A and B are shown apart, each in its own frame.
Chain A
């Protein structure tokens, strides 16, 4: 049972390059999320999707776009990478829809460095 799978696990980009981080879940969950984790900052929500076909901004959406391709997949795109986007990116999913109290389940992250 894979849970939440993120690809790639590691990536190095140059400033200005674009990149799409992939996330897929096999738990038939309705909601999916993208977070970033920086040292001393905790996790911060970038975007979320409460159901297939909908996406909404989180706390730190600037510089990112997302696509909820289908119920299983939620991708995060950096159009023009900047050094400030160097971070560990986590994807999560939960069974409930918007406002649900269901817990979120996380992938193992993508470690992204922007030079």
Chain B
């Protein structure tokens, strides 16, 4: 599975869009990009995943660059409850998700 690089921490004002970047320059053609978040003391929460097309669901949007070497998770209107550690994971078919250190997002009132 390809390695991912994320900034260790970010701040976002409440009500604004939070844009969380992820670099995965060694991604291969059959690897998907997944985003999870973990709010303190809870289990990881699935947010969204995609292969090469941009994806949107009720929680967020995932923008994957054309060369697939990076992606951005967008939370359109951040709330205080979005404060969490966000993990970007690149994985092909297989059984283990490798969670790195992620980005600690703090939403500021």
- Cβ contact of A90, chosen from B43, B92, B101, cutoff 8 A: B43
| Residues of chain A contacted by B92 (CB below 8 angstroms) | 101
B103 to chain A, nearest CB (A): 14
**Does B29 lie at the interface of the complex (its beta carbon under 8 Å from any beta carbon of A)?**
no
Query: CA separation between A4 and B46, bound complex, in Å?
Result: 12
Smallest CB separation, A29 vs chain B (Å):
12
Q: How close is B93's CB to chain A, nearest CB, in angstroms?
A: 4
Q: How long is the Cα–Cα vector from A45 to B100 in the complex, in angstroms?
A: 13
* Residue A103 lies at the interface, judged by CB distance under 8 Å to chain B: yes
User: Is B45 located at the chain interface by the 8 A CB criterion?
Assistant: yes
* Contact present for B95 and A58 (CB under 8 Å): yes
* Chain B residues within 8 Å of A48, by CB: 95-96
Let me know if A108 is at the binding interface, CB within 8 A. Answer: yes
Q: State the Cβ distance, B60 to closest chain A Cβ, in Å.
A: 13
Can you list, as one digit per residue, whether each of A64-89 has a CB less than 8 Å from chain B (1) or not (0)? Answer: 00000000000000000000000000
Report how far A34 CA is from B16 CA in the complex, Å.
Answer: 36
Q: Is there an interface contact between A106 and B43, defined as CB atoms closer than 8 Å?
A: yes
CB distance from B42 to the nearest CB of A (A): 5
User: Do A58 and B96 touch across chains, with their CB atoms under 8 A apart?
Assistant: yes
In the complex where A42-B100, A42-B101, A101-B32 touch, is A106 in contact with B95 (Cβ < 8 A)?
no
B residues sitting closer than 8 Å to A (CB atoms) are 32, 34, 41-46, 49, 91-101
24 residue pairs from A and B, CB less than 8 Å apart: A31-B95, A33-B95, A42-B98, A42-B99, A43-B98, A48-B95, A50-B95, A56-B95, A58-B95, A58-B96, A92-B43, A98-B95, A101-B32, A101-B49, A101-B91, A103-B34, A104-B46, A104-B97, A105-B46, A106-B46, A108-B42, A108-B43, A109-B41, A109-B42
The 5 closest A-B pairs by CB, nearest first: A106-B43, A99-B93, A45-B96, A42-B99, A103-B46
